[in-house]
């Protein structure tokens, strides 16, 4: 691919600070704040070799924060925030790059790197490299000139479909297993409406040679989810969701639900890639059919359930923070009070850059479970418990992860040397 500096696309029409010729630095120290799964750092360093890449925002001239979110067609939109540091702190820009669902990884990384190069031009004008920038803008013939207003002629009317099927087999001398699963989805997303239908099935079977003989366990599950969402304004949405599923592990022959839903976003939805804080309320009308008689001596039930959830997701220069709180309770009058049948879950993830090179992360989730109405009356066999093929009664579920990383030494990260590299997984 051509070196990207030349295709400046007039971005330096933005105002830039005035520097005396002899006070300009030679180039920029750039910190790219991006998940490795989204950004090909080796490719970026090769295609934009005229800046220094540093490992921390402390000591950088430009902090580039790259976030992403899904688009209606199944692609990804990448937002790049260019934040000047120290003497360049008054310079802030935001550019976006939209990757289509059919783009290859090569096309996506080329587009992202071109966008990154354009965003750096304004900052490069404060260095001696800026004196060597050449502007190149293609001139259209009159017949080729793009129209000011683009009328989209989409034969699919914004619908996107996806179908997948996969299988897996593994084994040893005394055990073997296989799994088959498939997925499908159909989505239509516009500014005003979001319509989606998705489904999945999964069949898993494992066979073990035990001292008492052969033991075989199977797990079957499937679900179908549909939603229709109407955009009301920059903060409010309303919709209807439906969900059907079957699960041998959860004693569910067939379950279905219909849920009117309303959602409020504290920040406008357009800012969701960097800050997102939402409240959602659902009123769920559910019907269950069970494989076995439940602990409530039921084989079929029709229930009404409340669900309130609060989610917050922030990605800022100091780090990332996510939190989700969900409260569910049955309205249906059981023998117990409806307030005795509930499920409360709280989960958070936090990753903070404490100091130069030092970052700390912690995450966890806890659930108070009082709504396992689908549990079978008969207890599971020991073998089923050991292999996890049947769910067990519990009052609480929890998990916790934590750690830190400290990186020190040279701040520069310009060299690309792929020797002895194996496949990256």
Distance between CA atoms of residues 204 and 387, nearest Å: 12
Region 57-86: what's the mean pLDDT?
85
Per-residue pLDDT, 104: 77
Distance between CA atoms of residues 38 and 78, nearest Å: 9
Q: Tokens 């998990």 identify what position?
A: 399
Which residues lie below 8 Å from residue 180, measured CB to CB, with a gap of 6+? 165, 166, 167, 168, 202, 203
Distance between CA atoms of residues 36 and 58, nearest Å: 20
Residue 258 or 157, more confident: 258
Q: Which two tokens stand for residue 139?
A: 């001139």
Distance between CA atoms of residues 76 and 69, nearest Å: 6
Distances, alpha carbon 177 to alpha carbons 24, 164, 213, 214, 333, in Å: 65, 21, 16, 13, 43
Does 11 score more than 50 pLDDT? Answer: no
Distance between CA atoms of residues 343 and 337, nearest Å: 14
Region 366-392: what's the mean pLDDT?
73
3-state SS class at 143: coil
Does 405 score more than 60 pLDDT? Answer: yes
Region 46-57: what's the mean pLDDT?
86
Residue 331 pLDDT level (bands cut at 50, 70, 90): confident
The pairing of strands 52-53 and 252-265 is unpaired
Which residues lie below 8 Å from residue 369, measured CB to CB, with a gap of 6+? 343, 394, 395, 396, 397
Q: CA 412: distance to chain centroid?
A: 30
Per-residue pLDDT, 421: 60
Q: CA 143: distance to chain centroid?
A: 42
Region 111-125: what's the mean pLDDT?
91
For 261-309, the DSSP string reads EEEEESS-GGGTTTEEEEEEEEEEEEEEEESS-BTTS-SEEEEEEEEEE
Per-residue pLDDT, 384: 60
Average pLDDT score over the chain: 82
292 CB neighbour count, 10 Å cutoff: 12
Lowest mean pLDDT among 116-120, 129-133, 389-393: 389-393
Per-residue pLDDT, 4: 42
Please compute, for residue 79, the number of CA atoms within 13 A of its CA located in the half-sphere on the CB side: 17
Does 13 score more than 80 pLDDT? Answer: no
List pLDDT tens digits, range 157-205: 888 888 999 999 998 888 899 999 999 999 988 889 999 999 999 999 9
Per-residue pLDDT, 148: 46
Distance between CA atoms of residues 212 and 215, nearest Å: 9
Check the CA dihedral 243-193-98-78 and report its sign. Answer: negative
Lowest mean pLDDT among 28-32, 37-41, 72-76, 226-230: 72-76
Euclidean distance between the first and the last CA atom of the chain, given in angstroms as a whole number = 26
* Helices first, then strands: H and E counts in the chain: 3, 17
Q: What angle do CA 185, 188, 189 make, to 5 degrees?
A: 125
Distance between CA atoms of residues 216 and 233, nearest Å: 54
Per-residue pLDDT, 245: 95
Per-residue pLDDT, 254: 94
Residue 387 pLDDT level (bands cut at 50, 70, 90): low
Residue 56 or 324, more confident: 324
Per-residue pLDDT, 232: 94
Share of the chain above pLDDT 70, in %: 83
Kindly give the residue spans of alpha helices, DSSP state H, lying in 105-219.
Answer: 105-124
The full set of domains in the chain, from first to last, is: 4-132 (3.40.50), 232-406 (no CATH)
Closest to 8 measured CA to CA, from 89, 106, 125, 105: 125
């Amino acid at each position: 691919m051509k070196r990207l500096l030349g295709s400046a696309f007039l971005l330096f029409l933005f105002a830039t600070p005035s520097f005396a010729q002899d006070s300009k630095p030679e180039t920029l120290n750039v910190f790219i704040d991006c998940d490795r799964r989204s950004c090909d750092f080796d490719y970026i360093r090769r295609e934009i070799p005229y800046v220094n890449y540093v490992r921390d925002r402390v000591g950088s001239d430009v902090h580039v924060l790259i976030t992403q979110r899904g688009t209606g067609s199944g692609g990804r939109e990448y937002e790049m925030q260019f934040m000047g540091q120290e003497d360049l702190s008054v310079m802030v820009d935001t550019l976006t790059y939209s990757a289509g669902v059919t783009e290859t990884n090569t096309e996506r990384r080329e587009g992202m790197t071109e966008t990154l190069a354009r965003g750096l031009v304004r900052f490069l004008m404060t260095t001696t490299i800026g004196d060597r920038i050449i502007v190149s803008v293609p001139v259209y013939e009159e017949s080729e000139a793009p129209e000011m207003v683009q009328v989209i002629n989409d034969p699919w009317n914004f619908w996107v479909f996806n179908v997948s099927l996969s299988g897996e087999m593994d084994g040893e001398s005394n055990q073997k297993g296989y799994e088959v699963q498939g997925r499908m989805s159909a989505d239509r997303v516009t500014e005003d409406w979001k319509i989606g239908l998705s489904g999945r099935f999964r069949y898993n079977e494992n066979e073990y040679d035990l001292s008492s003989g052969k033991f075989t366990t199977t797990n079957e599950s499937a679900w179908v989810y549909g939603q229709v969402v109407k955009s009301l304004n920059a903060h409010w949405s309303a919709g209807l969701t439906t969900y059907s599923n079957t699960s041998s592990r959860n004693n569910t022959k067939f379950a279905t639900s219909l849920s009117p839903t309303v959602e409020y976003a504290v920040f406008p939805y357009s800012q969701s890639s960097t800050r997102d804080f939402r409240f959602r309320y659902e009123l769920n009308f559910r019907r269950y059919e069970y494989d076995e008689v439940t602990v409530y001596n039921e084989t079929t039930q029709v229930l009404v359930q409340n669900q309130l959830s609060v989610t917050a997701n922030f990605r800022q220069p100091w780090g990332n923070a996510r939190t989700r709180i969900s409260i569910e309770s049955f309205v249906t009058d059981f023998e117990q009070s409806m307030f005795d049948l509930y499920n409360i879950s709280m989960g958070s993830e936090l990753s903070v850059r404490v100091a130069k090179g030092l970052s700390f992360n912690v995450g966890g989730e806890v659930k108070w479970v009082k709504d396992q109405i689908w549990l079978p009356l008969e207890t599971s066999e020991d073998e089923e418990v050991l292999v996890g093929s049947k769910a067990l009664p519990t009052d609480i579920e929890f998990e916790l992860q934590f750690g830190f990383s400290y990186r020190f030494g040279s701040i520069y990260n310009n060299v690309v040397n792929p020797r002895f590299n194996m496949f990256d997984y």
